[in-house]
Amino acid sequence: MSFALILALTGVIFLSACSKDSPAPAAPKKIPELASIQLQLQTTAQEVKYDGVIEAINQATVSAQTSGRIVEIPVDVGDYVVKGDLIIRFTDTEQQARAASAKAQFTEAQAQYTRMQEMLAKKLIAKADFDKSEAVFKSAEANLREAEQNLAYTAIYAPYAGIVVSRAVNVGETVVPGKALMTGLSLEQLRAQVDIPQQHIGPVRKYKKARIYLADGKILETSALRIPPSADPQTHSFKVLVNLPEGDHQLFPGTFVKIGFVTGEQEQLLIPASAISKRGEVSGVYVIKEKGLEFRQLNLGSLTSNKDYPILAGANAGETIAADPIAAANAYKNLHTAEQ
């Protein structure tokens, strides 16, 4: 067999083998179905933020309302007390005795009053005798209430949650009604004092809405603002008082808090906090495109009371983003693995 024929046969066999072993090109991987959000401009409140100083609205001094010797003071200056906590206890021997005596007299008067009612119904006694019995019963009832109240006064409880500011008595002292015992301030009713520059007082007075930004990320909203009619002659600013919503927000008098005052409206792109993906200190979203997913870093504003972030830069209105960043991250990883 000639050399040319052998070479031709070898070429045919090689081409045949190549045609059988060459794999078909892989089909491009499709983007999985992901819950999505289309970014749209929304009207939001425009704010200016200032530091405010927290102060207590209510500060009260507790006084003795019965006589006795102090046997217990479980709290002291600077202590935090919860509403209803015991703060002072007196001896109650005398009050216990009076309450027991009043109870016995009331029981006797009540029994007599019941008998007189039955006898009057049967017309066995005069109305004047019944009226006398009724008066004795009501007097005994009033005496019992007074004795029980005096007994209750031997244990004094915190009228609200707050801080003990001062203590005027010690264990072992004997006190009489009216003696000042302890002073405290409420942490459930607080306000912030804020100095507002004159150029912003007009919008602040117009909208009368404020947001208090707490350290734990919570936002309190209020419209209880007290705005003075004139500025301070020295600073030319307005000392605005912002009443916080009632409750224990773990804020303390004398501390600073950031407060945003509504001064107008603006158009912003808002994105739910749940759609944000965190990569270290980088915040971003997964943008859904026609041919894949793109991780986009964002510049975000402050969290709103509705748990949304305003997008300052990094995305545009009309773009579609993944609502679930974890599912989007998995899809993004699978797509890029398939491309390699």
Rounded Cα distance between 90 and 181, Å, is 12
86 & 200 share domain = no
What pLDDT, on the 0 to 100 scale, is given for residue 290? 78
Residue 132 C-alpha from the chain's centroid = 58
**Model confidence at 22: pLDDT above 70:** no
96 & 72 share domain = no
Q: Read off the tokens for 281.
A: 């200190």
14 pLDDT tier (thresholds 50, 70, 90): very low
Rounded Cα distance between 256 and 258, Å, is 7
**Model confidence at 87: pLDDT above 90:** yes
Q: Which residues pair with 72 in a beta bridge?
A: 89
73 & 181 share domain = yes
CATH code of the domain in which 136 resides: 1.10.287.470
252 & 281 share domain = yes
171 & 271 share domain = no
Look at residue 1 and tell me if it is in a domain: no
Look at residue 7 and tell me if it is in a domain: no
pLDDT tens digits for range 160-174: 888 999 999 999 999
19 pLDDT tier (thresholds 50, 70, 90): very low
Residue 287 C-alpha from the chain's centroid = 34
Q: Residue 271 is inside which H or E element, if any?
A: strand 256-272
Q: Which of 19-33, 76-90, 224-238, 253-267 has the lowest mean pLDDT?
A: 19-33
338 pLDDT tier (thresholds 50, 70, 90): low
pLDDT tens digits for range 208-218: 999 999 988 88
What pLDDT, on the 0 to 100 scale, is given for residue 7? 44
133 & 163 share domain = no
In 3D, which of 175, 130, 163 has the Cα closest to residue 254? 163
320 & 249 share domain = yes
CA atoms in the 13 A half-sphere facing the CB of 161: 12
**Model confidence at 8: pLDDT above 60:** no
In 3D, which of 231, 230, 211, 233 has the Cα closest to residue 222? 211
User: What is the pLDDT averaged over residues 46-62?
Assistant: 91
**Model confidence at 11: pLDDT above 80:** no
CA atoms in the 13 A half-sphere facing the CB of 91: 13
Look at residue 165 and tell me if it is in a domain: yes
Provide the number of structural domains found in the chain.
3
282 & 139 share domain = no
Mean pLDDT of the chain: 86
What pLDDT, on the 0 to 100 scale, is given for residue 196? 95
Do 243 and 284 touch, CB atoms closer than 8 A? no
Domain that holds residue 116: 92-153
Q: Read off the tokens for 231.
A: 């500025």
User: What is the pLDDT averaged over residues 286-297?
Assistant: 84
Look at residue 18 and tell me if it is in a domain: no
199 & 250 share domain = yes
103 & 79 share domain = no
**Model confidence at 25: pLDDT above 60:** no
Look at residue 271 and tell me if it is in a domain: yes
Task: Annotate 98-150 with DSSP letters as a single string.
Answer: HHHHHHHHHHHHHHHHHHHHHHHHTT-S-HHHHHHHHHHHHHHHHHHHHHHHH
DSSP 8-state symbol, 273: G
133 & 239 share domain = no
Look at residue 10 and tell me if it is in a domain: no
Look at residue 29 and tell me if it is in a domain: no
CATH code of the domain in which 280 resides: 2.40.30.170
Rounded Cα distance between 62 and 293, Å, is 66
CATH code of the domain in which 172 resides: 2.40.50.100
pLDDT tens digits for range 309-327: 889 898 888 888 888 888 8
What pLDDT, on the 0 to 100 scale, is given for residue 40? 87
149 & 163 share domain = no
Rounded Cα distance between 90 and 67, Å, is 8
In 3D, which of 139, 132, 137 has the Cα closest to residue 108? 137
Q: Read off the tokens for 246.
A: 């009632």
**Model confidence at 27: pLDDT above 70:** no
What pLDDT, on the 0 to 100 scale, is given for residue 1? 46
